[in-house]
Each structure stands twice: as C-alpha cells, then as structure tokens.
Structure 1
Amino acid sequence: MTDRTTLIAVALTALLVGSAVGAGVAGLFGDDGTAEADLESKNDPLTGATDPELATFASDDAFVEYFRDASSGIRSGGPTTLAPAGEDGVALEGGTGGEPDVTTDTADAGGETASERGDRTEQRHSETNVQEAGLDEPDVLKTDGESAYYATYRYTKRWAETSIVDVSDPDAPRTVGSIPISGDLLLANDTLVVLGDQQAAGYDVSDPEDPERLWRNDLEATVETARLSDGDLYLVLVDRPGSDPCPIVPYGDTAIECTDVVRPATPADADAVYTAARVDPETGSLESEESVVGSRSLSATYVSENGIYLSYTRSTDRYELQRSFLGSENGSDLLDATARDRLAALETLDISRRAKAVELQETLSDWYGRMDDDEREAARQAFRDGLRDYVATHHRDLRTTGIVRIDIEGELSAAASGEVPGTPLNQFSMDEHDGHLRIATTIPRTHGLDSENDVYVLDSDLETVGSVTGLGVDERIYSVRFEGDEGYVVTYREIDPFYTLDLSDPTNPTVDGELKLPGFSTYLHPLEDDLVLGVGQEDRAPKATLFDVSDPDNPVELDSEILTGEYYSAVSRTHTAFLQDEAHGVFFMPGGEQSYVFDYTGGELEEVARVDLGGAGTRAMYVGDYLYVFGENRAVVVDETNWEVVDRLEL
C-alpha cells in the first residue's frame, strides 16, 4: 500500500469517527480544557461578554467568520455516523424538527372559566393543550366561549383565511366572518394575533362580525414558537444568516446589530440566530429582545413562566477528535518525536481550523512515510484501535447540547448557560421545576457503540447537579413528560420501555419502574394524578395506551386501543391536536380518516364517539356540553351528554 493510500485510509477512518456525533470539545482536551482555551485565545477573533460561558461578537466580520467556519464542513451539526454504510447511525430517526411537539392541557382546561367579555360571563370552554399552565401556545384553533377562530389548516396556501364562528349558542353555531390571512393564532382578550407566513398581524375582534386589523409586521425570520403570558406576547424567531447578514432584521423594521448577538464562548454548530422578543399584542410593537447563536438541527426550545430556554448542538469535528486523541497519553505515545513536535507547533499557528485539519493530515502522512511497510501497517492498526477506544471513552462528549436561559422578568437577557451530553427530542425534553431544569437527551449510536438515553437535572446556574444515565440502551427517546417530582420517558427501537422517574431529590434522581410493551408512544399526557396516557403507534396504526402510575415502582398498562384502518394521527406531529375534557372524562384524538373520542374513566378506554368529517380531523374544542370537531373546511358539533351529532358547519 502506498503512502498516499495509507494517508487516505487514515483520513477516512478519522472522518467517519470525527464527523460522527459530537460535542463537548473541552472534555476531549482534558479535564481542565486548557488546550481548547489556548486555541480560542490565539485563533478566535471573538471577544467576550456577559458571562464566563457566553460571549458577544467583537465585529460584524467576526460574526460572519463564525458562521462561515460553522458551515464549512469542519464543524457540522447534521446527523452523521460512525457506522458503515447501511447501518443505523446517529441520525435520530426524525430527531427534533421532524418529531411531534407534545403538550398537555392547561390546569383548568376542563373546568369552568371565570373570564368575561364586556358584561357577558363565558360558558365553560376548552383551551389549547399546552405544556405549562398559564402559558398559552399558538394553534390554528382558538375560542373564548363566544367565538371560535379557525385558521385554514397550516399546510394550505399562505393566502388562506381564518374563519370566525359564533358559538354563543353552542348547539347552533354560525359562521359570521373571516380574516384574510391564516397561520397560528393567539387570543389576547379582544386581540387575535395571527402568526402567518412571513408576517404577523393583530386584529381587534371585539366585534367578531367586523374584525379590524390593528397592526401588521413583516417577518424576515421564521417563528419557532410563541407564548402568551399575562397579556405579553413572546416570540422566538429564527434567522439564517446569509451573505450580508448584518444587521439582523427578524421582526418588522427592528434591526439587531451582529455585535449584540450572544454566542457560546467555544465553537458550536451555528447555523442560525434565535431572537427572543416580547411584543405588545395590541400594537405589535417590540418591547424587548435578546438574540443568541443557535443550531436548527437536533435542538429544542422550551418556555417556562420564568425564562426561555434555547438549545444548540456542539459537535466534535474531525480535527478536534484527531488532535485530542493524539494529545492524550495513549495517542501521543504512538507518534515519534518529530510528529509530536510538529503537532505541538500546529497549536501555535494562527490559521483557520480547516487549514489545521489539512496540516494534521500532512503530519500523519510524514509520520507514516518514515516507516517501513511492516511498521506502517502496525502503526496504522494501532491508530485505528486507539482512536476507537478513545471514542468509546468519550462517547458522551461527541455531541452535546448547550442551553441558554433568557430571563423574561424585566428586559430579556441571556442569564445562564450550561451543557449536557446528547440531544433533546423536542420542547417536552425540558422542564423547569422548583428552581431546577430537567432535560432528557439521547446519546446517539456510533460504530460499535449503542445509543443510550439520559436525564439531567441542572440548577439555576445551569450546572448539572444530578443525572440518570443509560436508559434504553440501543434505543432512542420517543416521548418525555415531567410532572412535578415525577418524570416519564419512553424509548423505542423494537419494544417500548416506559420508565417512571423519581426527581424529588434533584441531586439524586432515580428510575423507579420500567414497563415494556409493543409499539411506542410519541406523546405522554397526564390525565389524572395516577393516570398517564400515551399516544403513538403499533403496527403502523395510531395507538392510545392508558398507564396506571399510582405505584411508580410498578407501572401498569391498564388498557390500549389501536385505531385499526387508520394510518396517522395529528397528535404524532403536534400536541395541540389532542384535547382532554375532564368534566366528561374523555379525550379527543384525530385519525387520518375519522376522529375519535374515548372515555378513560374506570381504568378502561371506551370509544364513545367516532366523527366522520370526510377526511382527517385536525382539532377539537368544547363549549358548554358540546364538542366541536374541525376538519380542513368543516366542523361537526357533538352533544357530549349523548354523543349524537347535532350540527354540521361548512367553513
């Protein structure tokens, strides 16, 4: 084998490993991270900022260079693998961004409401199924008990309308008007906020038959998510920097200087800027904002009553992995003195990371060139074995999730940052409780190394204080739910382990119980104190599973229902498609052909209604004792006292 062929083999081996999954670069450089810190101080044109782990950009050029380096291929956040072609690698089989976001009803969604419009007291009505009580989330259906607002389903064209339906007489609804744009909706008293395609607008709907536009702003960024809390509208906007990115203008004419964007103090898989913004829903004016470097791939956004948590990935690139391995005791012993000296000198060079990667390959090539054939083959094998062992030792360092908390009290500001191994699934992977953040992550599969799943507990400074590791070996997380001091995690590959966690002691979280059953759950919803519902699939059909968690050490499957003949439920994509009505002890889940209502009382799942909309159902709501089931262009009204259809409405 020629020297060039040897070099290519070595480079390919390193590329497969180094591009894999990965972050935690400082961890790969040693316990104190000295080598990485030195590298940053010599070669990073960025200077620093608000927190020891957060920084800002020294100039627009530094901002541009940061994103150029991140997208150059040296550092990529995309799913890659150590595995040979055809073997399941680190791509998270849907990951975040393709996986369903999941949520639960607000605490009072099934009870009487006490709000008023003018001098009219509202009827009992549902609210959007949300993750955190008191934090309303955007959806295509909103109601205040008098009117319903339904945006033509989000996959239709951008110029579709939002229908307004009078539901003051809930058994005899009527369409009374429309708004000429469509999108995700939030209802702030008499103001309907529409988050559409490249635009956001607010409408006065105090007279639903004659809505009046109050404001409209163009969006140069994508709305990642939004929340409505105590009359304030919070937006999380995502902008992908282009060839001339500075300043960033994500919302209306508000310009954000690139030097004001917060970034991690060490390199990350940066491909986007996330802007958290507080907006007055009545005027559309931006009141406060904070922008943070982020990554779209394998990240999640979570909002609590105290802060907005933005996550990003940090992946170990080829150069980092090779250099850190060769700088370790085992790796350094492989090299001769000439190669070690050249490697040390490489750290002092003020050149790009890509140039250093090329130089490292030349160093390896020259090292092999000083050997005879037998020595070269032995060195090559020792390099491969050593690198593989090094990867196994640092499995949890190869891809990590960085987290930035933006406090929302007063001016929005990046207040803390932290980092944990692995990547989250979606917003439900994170939860804030009693001053701690809990986050569930998947440590991806790499060649010869099984995937694992962890849960970490972080304090208010986002320092890890407790963890449970090694759940579902050779599987990945499909759903997570945190509820007070308890946690529930579902992992899956061939079977569905349902784990119950005790999180009452943040410094010592433990696994209480485990239940294995066929299929998997992509959404977990606490129905009552001791009942948790899982919505997912089995044999490619939607499935609902009822769990009894009264004894956390021994969770029990009480009942399950498979929607035979169906192929899809919108709950698998978004939690807002799910509805629970506690007053009647039922829940709604749409199917691909029909929509279903199940009674969950008595420890069994009983189908009490099946609604035919002539196609897939999208959403449901209740007003009084009437359930409204919406499809693409129509709604069906069902009397919840006898489950008979009482009206059909064309939209």
Structure 2
Amino acid sequence: MKKRGWVWLVASALVLTTTAFAVAGSADSEVEAAYIEKDGLPVVGSYENLKKLLAKDLQQQKLMYKTTVAMESAPVAGSAEPQSAPAAANVAESAAADYSTTNVQVQGVDEADVVKTDGKYIYQATSNEIRIVQADPAGKMQLASRLSYTEGTFEPLELYVDENRLVIIGQSFETLAIKKNDSAKKVKIAPGYHNLHVEMLKAQVYDITDKQKPKLTRELEMEGSYLSSRKIGSNLYLVANHRINTFQIMEDLGDPAPMYRDQAPDKQAEPQKLPYGDIHYFPESLTPNYLMVAGVDLDKPNQKMKVHSYLGGGENIYASMENLYVAVSEYKNEMPKPSVSSSESNFAPINESVSTTLYRFALKNGNLDFSGKGSVPGNVLNQFSIDEHDGYLRIATTSGNIWRTDEGTSKNNLYILDRDLKIHGKLEGIAPGEKIYSARFIGDRAYMVTFKTVDPLFVIDVKKPDAPRVLGALKIPGYSDYLHPYDENHLIGFGKEAEAEKDIAYYQGMKIALFDVTDVTNPIEKFKTVIGDRGTDSELLHNHKALLFSKEKELLAFPVTVRTLSSEEKANRRIQAYGRFSFQGAYVYRLNLQEGFVLDSTITHLSAEDTLKAGDEWYDSKKNIRRILTIGDTLYTVSESLIKSQKLEDHQPISTLSLTK
C-alpha cells in the first residue's frame, strides 16, 4: 500500500471513549462566526469556533492528559495498538426471482451483508478477502476469483451486489511509527506514544461483468469508522462516526477537519478536507465526534460523492425509501432534591434521564439533505424500534432503570411523530419495571416484547396516530430478541427460554415461537420449540440478516451454536448451569400453520474430529456457518472455510467447496 502524505497525527494510545452527554448551556453565544443556514442548523465556521464549541470536553481531556503525562516517568511497556472498527455482518426470500436475498427491514431498501447471491454466484466478505464463487450448478461449484488485502491496510466488512456491480464496504488503516530520535517535543506528542494512525471508511466499486477478473472502477472514502449503510436502486448511502482527536486540538498538531476522497483507480485524487463552513453542529449534542454521511448515484460515474459532516455522533440507523434517520441518545444527570426528613437516606440515587434525538435526512438521487430533527423520552433499542409509515414516524423507547423500584423505575413507551418530527401521539408507561427486548411495526400494528422475569408480548394499535392503544398482551416465560412477520396475523419470535428463581430470571436455550394475533385482544403462542440449554446462541438474536425465511417454501433456517447439559446434569440441574458445546451449524425447519416448527435438517461444517477436540468450547470460528441461502431448489451453507450445497426437497448433500488457500 502506498504511503499517504495526507495522514495526520493521531495519538492512538490516547483513544478516549465517552457517552454522548447533553451539554447544558451551549457555546453558541461565544462562537463568533457561526451562522444559521437555510436548513436551520448552525455551522462550526472555523477551527477556533470548533475549540470553543468543545471547550467543556477539551478541559476534561486536558485534566486527563496532565495526569497521563505526570505518569510518564514510569517505564512504558509499549504503545497501544490501533483498534479496528467492529466487524459488521448476513439472507430472506425474493418474490421476483428464485433465489434468496438479504433479510432487510424495509422492502426496497437494501442492507449490506457478509454474503450475497445473484442467483448464479455467491459473494462473500471475510476479514481479508472477497470471494466470488460460481454456485450454480450446485454440483460444479468453483471459485471464480478472490480479492485479497494485506492485513492491517483494508478490512472488508460487508458488500452489495447489483447486476454487474459489486460494492465492498470496509475499513482502511494506516499506522506509521515515529523514529526514536524524534523527541516528544519535536513532534508535539506525549512521551511514550509513538503511533500515528488514520482510519477511513472505504467503499470499493467493482465491475464484475467478468467474474474471473473483477475490475476496480471507483473508490469512495471518508474519515471515520463504519456505522451503517443503505442502498436504494443505484443510490448508495454511507454513515460513519469519526472521533475527534482532542489531543490533536490541545497540542495544535494540525487541522482536525474530516477528510474524504472520491477517485477512479487510474486518476489518483488528493483527499479533501471539509471546510468548517460546511460542518454543521447539533446544539443539543456537542460531543467530540463527527457524524459523517455521504451519498452517491453509482449509475452516474461523473457525479461526485456528496459528503456532509455534523458535530455529534450516531448510534442507530433507520432508512425508508425517502428518508434516513440517525438516532442519538442524550443523557442528563440530576442530583436528587435534599430530603427534609432526617430519617430518609442522604444517599438517594442520582436521577438519570435519557432521551433520543432523531436527525432526518431526505434521500434523493444519491443526495442526503438534513430535513429536520425531533426528540422523544427514553432510549432506542435498535433499528426495528423505528418505523416510518404514511408520513408519520413511530418509535418505541425504554426510559428509567430496570433495577430501581421508585419513580425512576423503567417504563416503555411508544411515540408517533408528525412530518415536523413533533410528538403527535403517545403511549407511555407500558410494563413498568421491564425493558424492551424487541419491537416491530407492521402496518397499523406495533408489537413490543418486554422482559424482566416473563415475556409480555404487547399488540398495539397505531392506526390512529394521535391515539395509539394496547389491544392485547400475552405473558409467557422467556423473551424474543427479534420479531419477524409470518403473515398479517402471525409473528415469529426468536429469543431465549427463561426460568425464574426468587424473582430473578435466567435465560436457558434458544426459543423460537409462532404467535397468533388473529384475536388482537387475546394473542396466543401457537407453536414453540427450544434449542439446547443455557449458553446456546445464534447470530440471528443480534443480527436479523442471519435469517433465511420463505413462507412459500415453508422454509426457516439460521446459524446456531448449541450447548447442552448431560442427562445427569439435567437430573440435578441448577437453572444457572451452562451447557457444554455440542454443535455449530445451521438448523433448517419446515414451518407452516398446521405443524408448526419441524426440524428437517442440521448442517455443520465441523468434522467429527473437530467436535471431539472442541470439548466444552469451540473456538475455530472460520468453520462457523454464518449464512444460509437458496438458489432454485438448492440450499447453501456458507462459512469462511466451506460452502456446502444440498437439495431442498430431501436435504441430500450435493457438493462441498473448500475456500481455504
């Protein structure tokens, strides 16, 4: 990889993590050149204004820095290694073609994944390469090509496939060492810290007309770590968080404005720094972080990527066909009022309140334009807690603390916001003392699962935006981490079974349930099955893209790691006891409304020797099945090491392709 002259100094050993706390009394009045643009958001304006806006945070960092430097007389064991961005990841049935597609939240809004298929080829992203595999015909699977990357320079995370175009999204890194004869004073860096590190979100666009010779046609980069992305038709939208290096500002090591680059491989382009006049800020959330959003129409190679930067951070992303929303938690701590009665404790808990601010960006032809913001009490669990429908935004939140029993106890809420992102209707105080484990909006209904010792499934009517109301509830053991629609009157829940002991619930094996909500006032658990014992887990419980589901094919499949107790352990079981590793692979079910869940097949990429050697734990994740997909009447399971194919009808094996070099 070529050395980049534009890499700026970052003391990577001083990476500091903070929560997005709301700042009381913003620095607006002290910022000289800030002004309000037509979209209603103020801009940073200049480097000096940036320092003023972040003055409170910088002061805290200076105190920490002084403490750090004071300790420099002690021997240094070694400088910290740069931290990679967390890997992302992940497949449901396409009605228009006979192959499965990624399980997405909103139809028409594609989400990147580690595995995709176009009905002929399978595309896979691993930590250091991209594989393109000819999968059809299944009996003649072969590797068409692979794109390899030097470790530590670029890490593929996810990908998109669109006809003859492959988009790879990943994180690029460059770390430079300061020579020992460069004194700390000379380079203005704290003694003992000798790493220079830059991190960029990168999207590589390949022409894959010739699958054996993918051709790189474009590279899009912006500074920061990958948060999420969406693709609508040919329009690609990227979202990243870029942590501002406050040490760089304190020591005047250089301009901390974020960088971006859009280039063709044969036309090297210099990186561009966003001018401070184009960097906006959210007055309610002045944190040392840039939220980076970018969009581009990939069908228009001459259209430059549009990059926008906002002082603040992003946590959860939701996108409809028209808008993209970024949700950010804002925390405020209030000291309790002094007690008049001496009999009351002087150590009352601090009242912590949390709200969620939603920033909306209008999507059109590869452009993202800020179009409004709103706020609701409570915290958002994930993207499925947010939904846009008929011009309204619905959002489910949890406020308070699940372990408190006073007025600060947890409560669950549902808010409906109008086009101006003002609260139009609300339903508050659902299931006090519990918190949301999953939520799903489907048409005029919302489904919410809360949990502490049992699993209430709430059915909520949201047809009237100004008056949402609970229609019915079902209380059963366990909980659902993910809810997936089966049809308009049935819902599939994926989560954990649970058992309670002295008001404390302990999760057990993985639970799958089919809920019947035909009678909305009396929902029932029509079918359920439990896999393994305590410790059993599935990526599906944390990532919806791991699911393969086709109602038409009566097919349900997902990867799972199973832990089981021996018969003796079950006879003398404590509900806190964890099982031992017994299986990793795919569970494939037949699902219909007459039979429920029928286990048709279990598939593993582990050999019998692997299982014997595993003992209580299994560590070789390269053989873990990550995704299951279908092409025609063939089922494929994909791990980093193998692709296996088998017939859907009788699950007879067809072939196995090794992917290791």
TM bucket normalised to smaller: 0.7 to 0.9
One-letter code of the match for 2:228?
A: T
Query: In the alignment, which residue of structure 2 is the partner of 1:607?
Result: 599
C-alpha distance 222-506 of structure 1, shift in aligned 2 (>3 A) = same
Query: In the alignment, which residue of structure 1 is the partner of 2:163?
Result: 189
Query: In the alignment, which residue of structure 2 is the partner of 1:133?
Result: 107
- CA drift at 1:602: 2.3
One-letter code of the match for 1:418?
A: G
Query: In the alignment, which residue of structure 1 is the partner of 2:395?
Result: 439
C-alpha distance 99-471 of structure 1, shift in aligned 2 (>3 A) = farther
After superposition, give the CA deviation of every residue in 1:496-537 in whole Å (9 maximum; x if it has no partner): 111111111111111111111122111111022222111112
Quick one: distance in 1 between partners of 2:302 and 2:547?
30
Aligned residue among 220, 232, 247 for 1:229: 232
Query: In the alignment, which residue of structure 2 is the partner of 1:425?
Result: 381
- CA drift at 1:541: 2.5
One-letter code of the match for 1:247?
A: A
- CA drift at 1:274: 1.5
Kindly report the root-mean-square deviation, in angstroms, between the aligned alpha carbons of the 2 structures.
3.3
Confirm whether residue 272 of structure 1 aligns to residue 263 of structure 2: no
- CA drift at 1:583: 2.6
Quick one: distance in 2 between partners of 1:72 and 1:438?
39
Quick one: distance in 2 between partners of 1:591 and 1:269?
41
Query: In the alignment, which residue of structure 2 is the partner of 1:353?
Result: none
Query: In the alignment, which residue of structure 1 is the partner of 2:279?
Result: 261
| Superposed counterparts of 1:176-575, under 5 Å | 176-181=144-149, 182-198=156-172, 199-242=202-245, 243-244=248-249, 246-251=256-261, 253-265=271-283, 267-268=284-285, 270-281=287-298, 283=301, 286-296=304-314, 299-317=315-333, 321=334, 398-409=353-364, 411-445=367-401, 448=406, 449-538=408-497, 539-564=507-532, 567-575=536-544
| Structure 2 segments unaligned to the other structure (5+ residues) | 1-17, 62-84, 150-155, 173-201, 250-254, 263-270, 498-506, 562-583, 607-622
Give the secondary structure class of the aligned counterpart of 2:364.
coil
Give the secondary structure class of the aligned counterpart of 1:63.
helix
Quick one: distance in 1 between partners of 2:552 and 2:159?
26
Quick one: distance in 2 between partners of 1:551 and 1:627?
36
Alpha carbons 1:458, 1:466 under 8 Å: kept: yes
Give the secondary structure class of the aligned counterpart of 1:571.
helix
- CA drift at 1:52: 8.7
C-alpha distance 584-41 of structure 1, shift in aligned 2 (>3 A) = closer
- CA drift at 1:380: 8.6
Alpha carbons 1:425, 1:479 under 8 Å: kept: yes
One-letter code of the match for 1:413?
A: D
- CA drift at 1:42: 4.7
Aligned residue among 573, 579, 585 for 2:554: 585
- CA drift at 1:209: 1.6
Quick one: distance in 2 between partners of 1:295 and 1:230?
27
C-alpha distance 422-259 of structure 1, shift in aligned 2 (>3 A) = farther
- CA drift at 1:70: 4.4
- CA drift at 1:309: 0.5
Alpha carbons 2:426, 2:468 under 8 Å: kept: yes
Quick one: distance in 2 between partners of 1:56 and 1:220?
19
Alpha carbons 1:99, 1:425 under 8 Å: kept: no
- The structure that is helix-richer by fraction is 1
After superposition, give the CA deviation of every residue in 1:268-307 in whole Å (9 maximum; x if it has no partner): 26242222211244659643233223335xx311111111
Aligned residue among 616, 621, 642 for 2:629: 621
C-alpha distance 541-259 of structure 1, shift in aligned 2 (>3 A) = farther
C-alpha distance 254-523 of structure 1, shift in aligned 2 (>3 A) = farther
Quick one: distance in 1 between partners of 2:302 and 2:657?
33
Give the secondary structure class of the aligned counterpart of 2:54.
helix
| Structure 1 segments unaligned to the other structure (5+ residues) | 1-18, 26-35, 75-97, 114-123, 326-330, 335-376
- CA drift at 1:405: 0.4
Query: In the alignment, which residue of structure 1 is the partner of 2:41?
Result: 54
Confirm whether residue 111 of structure 1 aligns to residue 95 of structure 2: yes
Query: In the alignment, which residue of structure 2 is the partner of 1:372?
Result: none
Quick one: distance in 1 between partners of 2:23 and 2:466?
22
One-letter code of the match for 2:491?
A: V
Give the secondary structure class of the aligned counterpart of 1:259.
helix
Confirm whether residue 597 of structure 1 aligns to residue 588 of structure 2: yes
One-letter code of the match for 1:161?
A: E
Q: Identity across aligned pairs (percent)?
A: 26
One-letter code of the match for 2:169?
A: L
Quick one: distance in 1 between partners of 2:227 and 2:651?
37
Quick one: distance in 2 between partners of 1:71 and 1:525?
45
After superposition, give the CA deviation of every residue in 1:48-83 in whole Å (9 maximum; x if it has no partner): 424796322243222233335247669xxxxxxxxx
- CA drift at 1:170: 3.6
Quick one: distance in 2 between partners of 1:257 and 1:548?
55
Give the secondary structure class of the aligned counterpart of 1:69.
helix
Quick one: distance in 2 between partners of 1:285 and 1:605?
50
Confirm whether residue 168 of structure 1 aligns to residue 136 of structure 2: yes
Quick one: distance in 2 between partners of 1:515 and 1:588?
26
Quick one: distance in 2 between partners of 1:523 and 1:237?
25
C-alpha distance 284-211 of structure 1, shift in aligned 2 (>3 A) = farther
- CA drift at 1:422: 0.9
After superposition, give the CA deviation of every residue in 1:195-224 in whole Å (9 maximum; x if it has no partner): 122232111111112212222345531121
Number of aligned residue pairs: give it: 515
Give the secondary structure class of the aligned counterpart of 1:605.
strand
Quick one: distance in 2 between partners of 1:127 and 1:499?
30
Normalised TM-score (structure 2):
0.71
Quick one: distance in 2 between partners of 1:237 and 1:102?
16
Quick one: distance in 2 between partners of 1:413 and 1:163?
35
Larger relative contact order (Cα-Cα within 8 Å, sequence gap ≥ 6)? 1
Alpha carbons 1:276, 1:412 under 8 Å: kept: yes
C-alpha distance 256-384 of structure 1, shift in aligned 2 (>3 A) = farther
